[in-house]
Amino acid sequence: MILIAERINGMFTDVKKAIAEKDKQVIGELAKKQTEAGATYLDVNVGTAAADQEGTMQWLVESIQETCTTPLCLDSQKPGVIAAGLKVINAKGGVILNSTPLNKKTDEEIMDKYIEMAEQAGPKASIIALTMDKNGVPQDIDTRVAIAAEIVQKAMEKGFDSRRLFIDTIVLPVKVPNAQVQPCNILAAMDQIKYLADPAPHMTVGLSNISQGATERSLINRVFLAMAASHGLDSAIVDVLDEKLMNVVATAEMLMNKQIYSDSFLKVYTSVKKP
Ligand code: THG
């Protein structure tokens, strides 16, 4: 599974403080710890507090790159913030541009911009596209699939390889009133999205969204990850420092015959840390 580590996000108090105080060490340590825990990519999100989002994105990218070479996942819905990060990044090992809706009322061309930036960033650059359009986040299965189909079609028209496309069906907190039907809707949408292109696009979610504000957060995250993996989820933005969650990833991959079973499968997975 392609694991995108979620912790370098201005939403977290320690990261927000490090950004305000320009404390590179906090960021470097998070980068190193998450890499050691098995991150394929490190998500980089400036949060909402920083006044200068573009400058902050560049400072985060530079701080991370001083300590490790793990590929980055630049997380912003503003093309300008992504472009700023791309100016200072070393994208040789790959980069993900996270994320674009299909279109927006204020910017019909937003997905084209993300594709163009990815093309310029090199052959290993991917994008995450959200099943969301100018009307917002759909609540039903069919609209999610229809938007995903339009995303795939747009990528094809632009000659953008489906293997460089991640589709995010957008997970909302299960605790939100009336949202409890959404996890199953997402799984049903994934069942169809995986057939939209050959080779299939990747599928990802921001896993921790599902348990925001809830009790038993890690348990909810773990169970949904295992459920979604069996419906074709092959990537997720997760807390890689949650050891129990990482054990679920390893076990799900073994049960789906993606990793060879041996009595020490868990040990092998956690020591090899393959994507
Ligand atoms: N899809 C895509 N990208 C995303 C998301 C998504 N990027 C951001 C987010 N969603 C994924 N990352 C997180 C990171 C943290 C949390 C949830 C998702 C989280 N944070 C704690 C909270 O809100 O309770 C903060 C706790 C603290 O302050 O210490 O849960 O869906 N493509």
pLDDT in tens, 213-256: 999 999 999 999 999 999 999 999 999 999 999 999 999 999 99
What is the model's pLDDT at position 155?
A: 98
Closest to 237 in 3D by CA, of 171, 182, 174, 184:
171
Do residues 65 and 174 share a domain?
yes
* Global confidence as pTM: 0.97
What is the model's pLDDT at position 273?
A: 57
Do residues 274 and 148 share a domain?
no
Q: Hey, whose CA ends up nearest to atom 28 of ligand 1? A: 12
Q: For the chain, which ranges sit under pLDDT 70? A: 272-275
Going from the Cα of 11 to the center of ligand 1, the distance in angstroms, rounded, reads 7
Q: Is 220 exposed, middle or buried (0-12, 13-18, 19+ CB in 10 A)?
A: buried
Do residues 70 and 204 share a domain?
yes
Full domain range(s) for residue 252: 244-275
What is the model's pLDDT at position 268?
A: 85
CATH (domain of 108): 3.20.20.20
Distance from C-alpha of 94 to C-alpha of 64, rounded to nearest angstrom: 15
Q: Hey, whose CA ends up nearest to atom 24 of ligand 1? A: 212
Do residues 255 and 239 share a domain?
no
Do residues 147 and 189 share a domain?
yes
Going from the Cα of 208 to the center of ligand 1, the distance in angstroms, rounded, reads 6
Do residues 87 and 157 share a domain?
yes
What is the model's pLDDT at position 44?
A: 98
Do residues 253 and 126 share a domain?
no
> Ligand 1, residues 3, 9, 132: which to mutate, most atoms within 8 A of Cβ?
9
The pocket around ligand 1, CB under 6 angstroms, is made up of: 6, 9, 11-13, 45, 75, 98-99, 128, 168, 170-171, 206, 208-209, 212, 237
Q: Hey, whose CA ends up nearest to atom 12 of ligand 1? A: 6
What is the model's pLDDT at position 270?
A: 76
Measured in degrees and rounded to the nearest 5, phi and psi for residue 204 equal -135, 165
Place of tokens 């920083």: 50
Do residues 63 and 52 share a domain?
yes
Do residues 102 and 38 share a domain?
yes
